[in-house]
């Protein structure tokens, strides 16, 4: 089955700096890659996603890049703010299984 690795597990940045989180996946059939932000005790919230036919997608301060050949994708957050502090998860989904496989998560702390 699919295996998703995520790095780093923790990330501390100064407010205003950029944060980058990287994920790799194993199943070349995966075609959908969402990123979620989860606050303590809450459900994951979709912040951005990318399909396998696209290499990059941007939404204001958040961008995601995908390298299908290398089977890795990354989340970029620019101009970080304290409210960006949370746990971020990458995930991968295949069209056939329709189930999400999550990375291990990255705890992001933005220091004011």
Query: How far, CA to CA in Å, does 66 sit from each of 15, 31, 40, 99, 112?
Result: 26, 10, 28, 19, 30
89 lies in the binding site for another protein (CB under 8 A) = yes
Q: What are the φ and ψ backbone dihedral angles of 53, each rounded to 5 degrees?
A: -90, 10
53 lies in the binding site for another protein (CB under 8 A) = no
Put residue 68 in one of left, alpha, beta given phi > 0 → left and psi -120 to 50 → alpha. Answer: alpha
Candidate list 14, 41, 69, 83; residue touching another protein; CB under 8 A: 41
Q: Give the binding-site size for another protein (rule: CB under 8 A).
A: 22
- Nearer of residues 5 and 15 to another protein, judged by Cβ: 5
Question: Which of the ranges 22-30, 59-67, 70-78, 92-100 carries the binding residues for another protein, by CB under 8 A?
Answer: 92-100
Question: Which of the ranges 21-29, 59-67, 74-82, 93-101 carries the binding residues for another protein, by CB under 8 A?
Answer: 93-101
Chain contacts with another protein (rule: CB under 8 A)? 31-32, 34, 41-44, 46, 49, 51, 89, 93, 95, 98-105, 107
């Amino acid at each position: 089955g699919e295996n998703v690795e995520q790095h780093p597990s923790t990330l501390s940045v100064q407010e205003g700096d950029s944060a980058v989180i990287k994920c790799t996946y194993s199943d070349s059939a995966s075609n959908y890659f969402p990123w979620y932000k989860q606050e303590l005790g809450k459900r994951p919230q979709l912040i951005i996603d990318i399909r396998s036919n696209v290499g990059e997608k941007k939404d204001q301060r958040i961008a995601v890049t995908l390298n299908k050949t290398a089977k890795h994708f990354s989340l970029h957050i620019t101009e970080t703010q304290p409210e960006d502090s949370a746990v971020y998860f990458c995930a991968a989904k295949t069209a056939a299984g329709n189930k999400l496989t999550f990375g291990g998560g990255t705890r992001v702390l933005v220091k004011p």
